[in-house]
Every structure is written in C-alpha cells, then in structure tokens.
Amino acid sequence: MKSINIKRAAAVVAGAAMVASVVTPALAAVGPTQADVNALVANIKANPANTKVIIGTNGAAISDGLAAAKIAAVLASLNYEQTTVGDVTGTKSVTVSTSGSEAVTPTASTQYMELDNLHGSTGYLADGTATTLTKESLGEVLKKQSLVASSDFTGTMASATYYYEDKIELMGGTSGLAAQYSEDTAGTKGHGLYMVSPSGALKYIVDFGAGIPIGPTIKYQETPELLFLGKAYGLNWKETESGKLALFTGDKQEMTEGDTIVQGDYEVTFKSGTRSGDKDYAVFQIKKGDVVKTTGTLTTADSEEVFFGTDKVSISAEYVGYDQETGKGYATIRLGTGLQTLESGDAFPGNTDWVIDRVNTTSGDTKLLTVSLKYQKTYTGTYLTGLAQGTMIDGPITAAGTPLFKVGLAGFGSKSTNYKTTTVWTKGMGDYNVGVGSELIQVKWQSRDGVTQKFTPEHPGEAIVGYDDTYNARTGFTHDILLNTQDSEGHVVKYGVINDKVIYLQSVAKGTDNRYTVKFRVGGSDGELVEVAGLQNNTNASLVYASPTEPINCNLQVLDFVGGTVDRRLISIGNSATCDVLPDAVHFGKALDFPATGGIPKMDLRDVLDQNNPYMVFYDTTGSHWVEVDYYSQPSTGVQAGLYVYDDSTDLFDQTDTTNFAYDYNKYHITYNSIEADGSVLGEATFIVPNEPRNALIQVTGTSTGAAAGQSVLKVGDTISNVKIEAITCPSTVSGTYYKQKGAISPENLVALDSAAAGTYQIVVGGPYVNNVAKAMAAKDMITVEGASYVYAEGNKLLVAGYSATDTTNAANELIQLLKA
Amino acid sequence: MKKPNAKIILITVIFALAAANLLLFSGALNRGACFRDMCLYGETSDPVNEFRLLVNSSSKAIIIAEGDASPTQTTAYVDIAFSQLASDLYLKSPKLIAIAVKDGAAINCSCENYANGTFAACQNDLVYCTSIQPAQDEMMIILKYPSYAKNEAVIKSRTIELRANSGASLSGMVEVLRGLIKKGG
C-alpha cells in the first residue's frame, strides 16, 4: 500500500542536501545523526506523558494508522513499569450511620478458651493449666504500650523506652478457676454451667516485661507516665515497692514560677523555685475559697496532700526544674484528689470487683515487673455469683466507665467422646390415664448434622435403644443393641438409637448364597436407606453411615438363630467409640402437669431431680434386656418427658429404684421453659439440649463504648444492627506482577491530529503530503525520495515517515526499536 | 480574507460532539443506550455495563480498523481512532489489524501482535484478518469502514463493532467509548 501520492521532486531541495547520517539501521534511516535521534528518543522515553503521536489530516491510508497505533501503544507502555509485589491488602471497612437517635454499637472481637478435663459425676471441675490472653489474641482489648523515661540531670541514668502490656489470665488447676455443671438451681436459674472459683482465679495483668526501674535511688528527670485502664498516672517510683503501687493522680500541668492554674475549686500558684546542689525545688500555694495553704519544698517525684477540712487535694511534682538564666523555676505537676497508693486487696480506682492482687518487683525492689488485678467477687454455694452460663461479668472498669472486657461461660467446649441429641420433641399418644405399658411416646429430635430423627415405635416392644450387656457376650464381640428380636406379644424390635440417630431395621433377607442383606433406615422408618450386604452368619461386619458431624461406624453381626418355629435373624450392633448406642440421660424435671381442673397442660422443668419426677425412658420392661420406649404412668404428674438410659439388667423398671440407674444427668445444660402443650394430643414439648460436648468454654469479649448516633467505621468481625450502609471501602488485594503507572498521561490522548498538534515532544507520522506538521519540518523533502524511510529528529519533533506505506511501516518499526532499547 | 480552515472547524465540531455525547436514554425498549450521536446496542438490556464488563473481563484485545488503501481524510480519522484505542488498550497486548478497503471490499490487511513490549507481524492474510474471532478472555473492537447510515456500536459475542457514517463520526464514537471505560473504572 502506498501512503502518499508520489511526487518526484525534480530538484533537490535544501532538506535533501542534508546528508543523513545513516547508521545502517535494520529498518529505516535515522537523521540528522544517530545521536540526535537517540537524544530525542531518550527525552520521549523519559516523558511519555508529554509526547504525542501526530497524525495527518490531509489524508492517510490505513497502513499509516497501523504504524501510528503501534507507536502509540509502545508510547503508552513507557508510562508503566512492571513490578511484583507480595500480597498487599488494605483494611476493608464499611461506614455506617444510625437511624434516628439510636446509637451505633460495634462490638469488639471475642476469644474463646476452653477449660478442659471436666469430670465428676455431680459436677465438673476444670483442671487445665492457666490460660493467658495478650494483645495477639485480643488486640482490640489488650494493648502493648511504651513509655520513655527521661534521664536525670547528672546523666547517671540514661533515657530509655520501656514497654508494658495488658494480659488476661484465667487460672486453671483444681484450686483455680473451675466450671461446674450444677442442677442446684435456685430461683429460676435452672441447670447449667457455673464458674466455681476462689477469688483471684480471674486476673488482669499489666506486665512490664524486664521491668521499669524504681526505688529511692533512681533519678528520673520526670516521673514516668503510665496508662492504667485508659487513665494516665504518674508512677511514684520512689514509693512503689513489692506489694505497693504508688501513683500520682490528676492531669499533668506545666507551670513556670509565678503561674497560677485553676482546677475545680482549687487555685494553684507556683510560688518559688530554687536550686540547691543538683536538685531543684518548688513551693506551691493552693487556695480554696479564702483558705490558702502552702506546700513544703518539693522536688521531682515528691508529693503532698493538702487538706481543706475534710477535702483533700494532692499535688505531685512530676518534674521540677530551675533555669539559672531566668532565675525561675519550672515544674510539671499533677493535681489530684489524693495520693494513690494501692496494696493487695485495694480496689483499683473506679472499680469494686477488681482489686489489687499483686505488685511484683525484683529482689530489692529495683524494678517494677507486674501489677495484677483480680476478680474478687465471692462465690456462694457451688457457683460464682453472677457467672452462670449465658451471663458475662465485667472486667476492670476503664476511665471511660466501661469494662475493658467481659468474661463469661459460653457453654460446653469441644472435647467429648459422647454423642448426644439436640432438640428433643416428645409427643404423647392416647390417654395418659391408661396404665403402664399401654402408651408410647414418640420422640423426635434433630441430630447434630441437622437431620430430623424420628423415634416412632408403634408398639412397646418395637424399641430398643441400648444397654450395657454382657448377657450374651461373644468372644471379641459384645453387642449392645439387638434388633429383630421379638417380645412376648410378637412385636419385633426395630428401633435403636446410635450416635444421636435413629436406626430403624427395615429388613433382613437371606440370599441363595446363605448371605444376608440388612437394610436400615437412618433417621426413622422413612429415613435414609443404608444397606449392608454379604453378611455371613455370626461374622463381623460393619454398619457405616457417613455424616459430616455424626458418622456411624458400628460392629455388626447377623445372628441367625433358629429356635423352634421361629427363624430369627438377630442384628447385633456393638458399642464402640464410633458407635454410641447408649444415649445419655437428660432430666427435665417435672413433666407435663395436668391441672386438676383440666385445661391446657403445662411443662414445668424447674424442679430438681428426685425420684418422683417422671422422665421419658427407654427401658426394659420384661427383663429380657430389651429396651423400649414406653409410657410410665404417674397419675399425679402426668406424662414423662426425658431421655434416660437404664442400666438395670436385673429387673423391671422401677422408678423408685434409683440406685441401679446409670444415668448421667450432668452432661447437658437444659434450657428450661414452661411450655404449654397442646392438650388435644396429650402433650407436646420441646427440649432444647445443647449439642456441645463437655468442657467449659470461656468467652472473653472486648467491649466498646458505643458510638454516638452518626457514622462509624466497622471492620470485619464487628457486629451491628439497625444501621444504614453509607460507604464500603474495599482495598484490593494485589499480588504477583502488575503494572504501575509512572505518571499521569495528561492530557489523556497520546494521539492528536496535525491540526491540534501539541505536546512537548511530537512523533510525526506520515510525510508532508499527509501531515501538516511534517510539511513544516525541514526534513520533509527527504521523504519524497523513492525508498526513503526515516526517523528524523528535528527540535522536539521526530518525523517517522517513508516514501511508501511499507517505508512508513519500516520507519515506525525502527522507532519502536529505539523506544524499547 | 483567509478562508477558515474547514478541517479545523470540522475537528472542533467532532470533539464538541464527543463532549456532548451524554447518555440520553437507555432502556429495554430498544435494548440500546443512545447518546447524542450514536447508539450502543448489546446482548443485554444494559449495553453500557455490558461494554464495561467486556473490557474489564478481557485480558487481551483485538483491534481491527478498516480504511482506504490510499490516503484519504476519512481514513485519517479512522487512523486516529485506531491509534487511540491501541494506546488505551496496550495493557491488553492488542493485536492490531489494518484492513484496506476499496469499493466496499477488503483487498488486503496487515496484522501486528503486541508482545514483550513491541510488535511483530502476524498473519497478513485476508481470510485470517476477516474471520478472526475473540477467545473467551479476549475482546475485539472493529472500526468498520465509515459508510453506514447511522452511528451505531453493536456488542455481540465479545466483539464491539463500530459503524459510523463518516470518519469524523467514527472518531467521535471511539471517544464516547473511551469515556465509558474511564467512568466505569
């Protein structure tokens, strides 16, 4: 393609006389010299934002456009640099505002710690080791701070930076913090976990690490300032010692001799400053009303309490200096409500439940190491007052008047080998006044994987849950559930409960190969089908059911008995760690209570366990080691409601016989309610049984003061409600290789028409016949020679053109090579 | 009296038009978003965002420009639009294809691939140039030879085709699209 109308110059014009310094380029000639081109190209490369590609408007072919487009793209690339970074992630946040006058209350982060090794039949004691929280785990609550302690005048003590950090400590051990499950209800507390703790098991500690120097021999130029619970105090290093923390209270104020400050009812005047030897002294006058009092001579770290009747004020000299040139004293004082000396057992200022536990120093009281506060609320009975499951106690109160954190029992922890049910729903059938064995209670609950379990035997003999049986022990195999047996009335035992799930025996079929196929339904008679095939008589097999939270893996045998006319194929299922056939008992206290005058029965669960309280049981009524669901009539108390495992292998169930009951009622916390039941179906009640296993979960949560109505910025982890989202900031995560713009391209176009040519540097594409800028250049006539292809520097312009389209393309490619060099 | 430079006036008008090309309406009625001097159509009811999504979801770009084999003013404007797009999309390693058109028919083409900071010739084959399709992570912009009755940009199958009634209009249309990219972020 030809880019220009060829006009052969008859004469060599002045421009053509310029001898181009051809440096044998691969693609095009450069001129006037290589050095000229190199210099201009260097400027263009350094200033891509101030360079334009100029396209002519007199006419251009599409090939010129391609050349210009390539140059423009390369030019744009010069404004970016490739770099590689690791992950750079900013903090994502959302800004919210409240509606109306409701305050925004973002909450801080929460830490959970477990007290493990709970044990005991009547209560659990945690004997885990002490747990300490630091800023790493609860950064929104616990801080690490620094202070700079200034050197003294004489230079015998250098300035240094000291660090101190907050910690929370929960003491473990048998004498330490303990969580106990208690049914020792009082009032309406119900059952649950309680903290059983002697005073001091819960601590807040300020740890000074290697320690900050204290003692009368220390010479600080100015008293170190510490932040305790958000309030600034001066450390009285002269008075602080083991067991005693001495602080200067009040805000710091700087004074020059002669100054007077007013704080509250008090007027303080710096009366005089003096120097004696290497010490500077100050005397202050304090006035309240008409009463004027003068302090003694104070030097750095001295303090004095001044009494005005029953009122007192403390003046602490954080720093006292003297300027010999001016002859004036200088001082930094704190005016407080009294000197603060805290010893073991003293409540920390602003607190009642948190007192000084220890002020720990090095031997000889040369350094302050730790200051700890302890939660000193006493406990009554078997639990720490106020620290019951579901309630939180306040940590030390800060200067803002809010607790630094809250501590409470969140529930049971994560360690347990027991499986248990969650929500249990019971429904009675028929007339509760009928005698023993005639009514059934269906049980429905949700297993921990969220699947509804239905225990719905239609006959008393249909249900067997499990029992600790050695009656029919076999070598290497002990079965704990025996399904497919029959009671005396011919009812076949179909139901069992394994690992929180109902196992319903659907069928046992014998094949022509004398092997058995057993079909179960998990969850109820209409539950998920699980088939175990190929079983041989009296040979171990496995019943496996996959579940994310409650898998089942049981030993399984088919026991093919032929006794008399009955062909029994008993299904024997053995208890193991993954096959818990012994559901645990949960007592619900008194069950349905039918009012004597009729009406809707109520479920009342508040009473403590006693032998007269009914509960729903799976028990053996015939003595043949079956366990069934049945209804036990208690005329005075109505339908039983509870889960209970019966371990009496000797006799009929006898509710009055508690000694043989192997139940363990301490594993659960029960949320009790007074539930009104639907009288038309005899009774319905829902029992919420937490699915958390044993161990006590201690929850420590930071608190926030709550923002005023208006906007607040929240981070991930904060919770909030009733707000409107105002803005969302999502800094991107960048990693790997990316291109960073070096400078703004301004103006935004790298390309311009010749009629609007601008830019500090111009790359002129096309010859004089198409491009007016080229037409004005001295080098224009060089392009009119057949075969000419040039990259020509002239002032701030670089001509990129050729005689033909191919020549122009070559020139463009030559320039691109130079730009990328 | 010196005649005013017609070209200058024309150019001034073009950029004034581009500046005034605010989105006038868009809607499901015609599935188009119309600006003052062009309409943008897509495969969805929101062609503006469809275009932005096409740009943002593409790691590579193919830019095809159709123009005269010989120098013309029309093609001068096509060239400037071509160059602007090449510089704007350089981060998408653009493949640049210039198709020479005569009497409405493509007569030859040149293809250049961008890689490693420079360009290298690719397949200079007319069949290749006219049948190339974008891959799933690519976008293609075709600047059709400006001989259409109306100024329309049509998005389909990861391709946006600009059909203009003149070179100046085509250049203006590209300016509008560049503005959409910048506003979309």
Tell me whether A34 touches chain B (CB under 8 Å): no
| A69 touching chain B per CB within 8 A | yes
Backbone angles phi, psi at A736, to 5 degrees: 85, -150
Residue A471: left if φ>0, alpha if ψ -120 to 50, beta else—which one?
Answer: alpha
Q: Nearest residue on chain A to B115, judged by CA atoms? A: A74
Residue of A nearest to B79 (CA): A65
pLDDT in the model for residue A498: 80
DSSP secondary-structure letter at B177?
H
Interface A–B counts its CB contacts (< 8 A) at: 153
Tokens of A808: 């122009």
Residue A182: both structure tokens together: 């208690």
- Classify A467 as helix, strand or coil: coil
CB contact under 8 A, A73 and B87: yes
Give the residue, B102 or A468, on which the prediction is more confident.
Answer: B102
Is A151 in CB contact (< 8 Å) with chain B?
no
> Tell me, what's the pLDDT at A538?
82
Contact list, A809 vs chain B (CB under 8 Å): 110
- State the smallest CA–CA distance between residue A778 and chain B in angstroms: 22
ipTM for the predicted complex: 0.84
Q: Which chain A residues touch B69 with a CB distance below 8 Å? A: 1-2, 61-63
Q: Which of A4, A66, A78 to mutate to test the interface with B (most CBs of B within 10 A)?
A: A66
The C-alpha atoms of residue A719 and residue A701 are separated, in whole angstroms, by 12
CB contact under 8 A, A55 and B119: no
Pairwise CB contact (< 8 Å): B114 & A3: no
Q: What three-state secondary structure class fits A721?
A: coil
- Percent of residues, chain B, with pLDDT higher than 70: 81
Residues of B in contact with A79 (CB under 8 A): none
Contact (Cβ atoms closer than 8 angstroms) between residue A197 and residue A393: no
| Cβ within 8 Å, pair B110-A63 | yes
* CA distance, residue A78 to nearest chain B CA (Å): 9
**DSSP per-residue codes, A124-190:** ----PPPEEE-TTTSTTT--EEEEEEPP-TTSSS--EEEEEEEEEEE--STTS-EEEEE----TT--
Question: Any CB–CB contact under 8 A between B118 and chain A?
Answer: yes
User: Please, are residues B59 and B137 in contact by the beta-carbon 8 Å criterion?
Assistant: yes
Contact assignment for A59 to B71 by CB distance below 8 Å: yes
A1 and B99 in contact by Cβ < 8 A?
Answer: no
Whole-number pLDDT of residue B47: 86
Cα distance from B68 to chain A (closest Cα, Å)? Answer: 5
Nearest to B96 among A4, A59, A66 (CB): A66
All residue ranges of chain A with pLDDT < 70 are 1-27, 79-131, 139-140, 151-158, 171-201, 377-392, 409-450, 458-480, 486-491, 548-550, 561-568, 575-577, 581-749
Contact A2, A804 (CB under 8 A): yes
Distances (CA, A) of A708 to A99, A100, A154, A205, B150: 11, 11, 50, 30, 58
pLDDT category at B111 given cuts 50, 70, 90 is very high
Distance from CA of A735 to the nearest CA of B (A): 17
- Closest residue, chain A, to B100 (C-alpha): A62
- With an 8 Å Cβ cutoff, is B79 touching chain A? yes
At A538, list the tokens: 């009296």
Of A60, A739, A816, the CB nearest to B79: A60
Coil, helix or strand at residue B176: helix
From residue A471, how far is each of A461, A626, A654, B83 by CA, in Å?
A: 19, 12, 20, 93
How far A718 CA sits from the closest chain B CA (Å)? 29
Q: Has residue B154 got a pLDDT over 90?
A: yes
| Interface check B84 vs A, CB under 8 A | yes
Quote the minimal CA–CA distance from A758 to chain B in Å: 14
The CA-to-CA distance between both ends of chain A, in Å, stands at 29
Find which of B7, B80, B93 to mutate to test the A interface (most A CBs within 10 Å of its CB): B80
Closest residue to A62, CB basis, from B7, B67, B117: B67
Q: How far, rounded to the nearest angstrom, does the alpha carbon of residue A303 sit from its chain's CA centroid?
A: 45
In angstroms, the separation between the Cα of residue B84 and the nearest Cα of chain A is 6
* Burial class of residue B20 in the structure, from the number of CB atoms within 10 Å of its CB (0-12 exposed, 13-18 middle, 19+ buried): exposed
Task: List, in sequence order, every residue forming a beta bridge with A85; answer none if it has no partner.
Answer: A736
Nearest residue on chain A to B6, judged by CA atoms? A755
- In this structure, what token pair is assigned to residue A497? 């409960």
Query: In DSSP terms, which residues pair with A567 in a beta bridge?
Result: A562
CB contact under 8 A, B76 and A750: no
Nearest chain B alpha carbon to A753: B80
Contact: B79, A809; criterion CB under 8 Å? no
Closest CA in chain B for residue A69: B83
3-state secondary structure A629-693: EECCCCCCCCCCCCECECCCCCCCCCCCCCCCCCCCCCCCCCECCEEECCHHHCCEEEEECCCCC
- Predicted confidence at residue A649, as pLDDT, reads 30
pTM beyond 0.90, yes or no: no
Name residues 739-768 of chain A within 8 A of B (Cβ).
739, 748-753, 755-756
3-state DSSP call for residue B121? strand
Alpha-carbon gap: A729 to the closest alpha carbon of chain B (Å): 15
Whole-number average pLDDT of chain B = 79
CA angle A10–A12–A14, rounded 5-degree value: 140
User: Which carries the bigger pLDDT value, residue B46 or residue A518?
Assistant: A518
* Chain A stretch 70-109, residues whose beta carbon is closer than 8 A to a beta carbon of chain B: 70-77, 80
Q: How far apart are CA A524 and CA A503, in angstroms?
A: 7
Closest chain A CA to residue B120: A813
CA distance A733 to chain B (A): 16
